[in-house]
Amino acid sequence: MAAEDRPQIYLVTPPAFDAELFPDRLARVLDAVPIACLRLALATRDEDALLRAADACRMVAHERDVPIVIETHVMLVPRLGLDGVHLLDGARTVRHARKELGQDAIVGAFCGTSRHEGLNAGEAGADYVAFGPVGATPLGTGDSVDPELLAWWSEVIEIPVVAEGALTEALIRDLAPVTDFFGIGEEIWTTEDPAAALMRLVAAMG
């Protein structure tokens, strides 16, 4: 696959990390492979922890001209100097986020395995729609995205699509022709060398 036709990488942070140590690991990954966007995906609802983590990651990302979005917390976007929000509830709060953040902000929506939810999110003004998990996982409902959904979406719908969740080299090889972005996070952060792990996944695109 020609480089210009390859999907781009949408990097997702771990759900928890040391705000003093993680920026160096993040920097090595951002320097190893071109990254289209970084998602701050912390599980915590501790505001101070979110502030520290966002500050650290924003500096690393913006130094490399990589936009950074945060999961869920719409009202923290302007406060933290971030570029947008990634919503986890499908289409439900897309219009609200767009109204609060304006037209220039990135507003993305995770829509699980539902084509209907994805279409609604797009109609509501989402800049991209994410579907997942694409790989087999015992977590959540155990459902995974039908590759036919991604193929249909990429052929019919103009709104960019992100494939994420339980990705493997084989899945990336198979899905590269039918997605705009791969959302990659735990697949690399659980390894000793996340940059090298990401490079292997990118190489799988062909």
Check residue 206 and give its pLDDT.
87
57 touches 76 (CB < 8 A): no
Q: For the CA atoms of 165, 13, 124, 135, what is the dihedral angle to 10 degrees?
A: 0
Domain boundaries, the chain: 8-198
Write out the two tokens for 124. 């509501």
Check residue 3 and give its pLDDT.
64
Average pLDDT, the chain: 96
Check residue 132 and give its pLDDT.
98
pTM of the model: 0.97
What's the fold here for domain 8-198?
TIM Barrel (3.20.20)
Check residue 5 and give its pLDDT.
84
Check residue 196 and give its pLDDT.
98
Give the span between the Cα atoms of 200 and 194, in whole angstroms: 10
**Run means of pLDDT, 10 residues per run, the chain, 206 residues:** 83 96 98 98 96 97 98 97 98 98 98 98 98 91 93 97 98 98 98 98 96
H-helix or E-strand containing 61?
helix 47-63
